[in-house]
Amino acid sequence: MKVGIRGFIILNIGNRLAVLVVSCDNYSDLWKPFFSLFWRFWPDCPFDIYLLSNNINPAIPQVKSLLVGDDISWSDNLRRGLSQLKEDYVFLFLDDLFLREPVKTKEVLEVFSWAVESDINYVRMNPMRNKPDESLNESIGILSKGAIYRTSTVVSVWKKNVLLDLLKDGESAWDFEVYGSIRSDKYDRFCASWKDCFPITNAVIKGKWRKGAVRRLKSLGIEIDLTSRKIMTFSETIIQYLRILRSWVLSVFPAKYRRRVKSFILRRKYNYEQNT
């Protein structure tokens, strides 16, 4: 494995990596604001960009449509979409994660080139949810086996065949992040960046707009369609903040203990046999 990234030669990997925005027809109201901010903050993105949806053709300039048919589950939809792509790697973007600051394309391309040429299985480009457990170089750290959210879908580079292997029919994105992390322990070369390469705003949670996200998007001049989905209530917002606090508490524990601690906090055990 090549370790150094700083100064790594940026290679032409456009034929090996694609940007895949995972969505569905029920979230079509997010497409316009999402891509408005995407192109504002990453105008020189050099990769083909695909939008995964069900039956609605988005007809968005510079975006290729990836129709997968009727909605079954997040994992089923993604599996069908990946089977249509020719590239070896995908950079996953979720439709409710909106860019809020400019992307430093040169730094991103150095990491992407390194990942593809070094045969890396996974690189998360945002450390907020779960930071690396061990330093690999000045830019990247290793996600140890046993780490929670080892398969977090947030702005992540995936080797396509590894992602396909870890997907399980019927799972939601939340299920995949929990149980896919357990299944991922059979793989090495799972990494995450130390810095936030893609500053994002998580705009929608469980189908509702976050009030703070709506304010931020409006400050950026983005129009939001509030007729298509509601804003989270005060009690729903408090519950979400408590979940964020729980994630912060978990980050205090060594990686190998976090799954057990999370299981205790949730007062349940992961079903390893069923979900591995």
**Residue 270 neighbours by CB distance under 10 Å:** 17
Tell me how far apart the terminal alpha carbons of the chain are, to the nearest angstrom: 27
Quick one: which of 36, 130, 52, 139 has its CA closest to 91?
52
Side-chain half-sphere exposure of 60, counting CA atoms within 13 A:
24
Among 63, 41, 76, 10, residue whose Cα is nearest residue 222: 41
Helix, strand, or coil (residue 64)? strand
The length of the chain, given as a count of residues: 276
- Say how far apart CA 158 and CA 89 lie, in whole Å: 6
Domains in the chain with CATH codes: 17-275 (3.90.550.10)
d(Cα 197, Cα 126) in Å, to the nearest integer?
A: 6
pLDDT score, position 242:
56
Enter the pTM of the model.
0.86
DSSP assignment string, 191-256: EEESS-SS-EEE-EETTEE-HHHHHHHHHTT----TTTSPBPPHHHHHHHHHHHHHHHHHHHS-HH
| Helix (H) or strand (E) segment spanning residue 81 | helix 74-82
Report the SS3 class of residue 52.
strand
- Chain position carrying tokens 């993604």: 78
118 by DSSP, 3-state: which?
coil
Write down the pLDDT at residue 127.
83
Helix, coil or strand: residue 240: helix
Q: For residues 240 and 212, what is the distance between their CA atoms, to the nearest angstrom?
A: 12
Which helix H or strand E contains 12, and what residues bound it? Answer: none
pLDDT at 39: 97
Q: What is the pLDDT of residue 251?
A: 61
Distance, in Å, from the CA atom of 29 to the CA atom of 124, rounded to the nearest integer, reads 26
Listing DSSP states for 159-171 in one string gives: EHHHHHHH--TT-
| One pLDDT digit (tens) per residue for the chain, 276 residues | 344 455 555 667 878 999 999 999 999 999 999 999 999 999 999 999 999 999 999 999 999 999 999 999 999 999 999 999 999 999 999 999 999 999 999 999 999 999 999 999 999 999 876 778 888 888 899 998 988 889 999 999 999 999 999 999 999 998 999 899 999 999 999 999 999 999 999 999 989 999 999 999 999 999 898 998 999 886 766 666 556 555 655 666 666 566 665 556 555 545 544 455
Residue in the structure block whose two tokens are 């997968």: 68
- β-partners of residue 51 are 21, 65
SS3 (DSSP) at 193: strand
How many other CB atoms are found less than 10 A from the CB of residue 77? 22
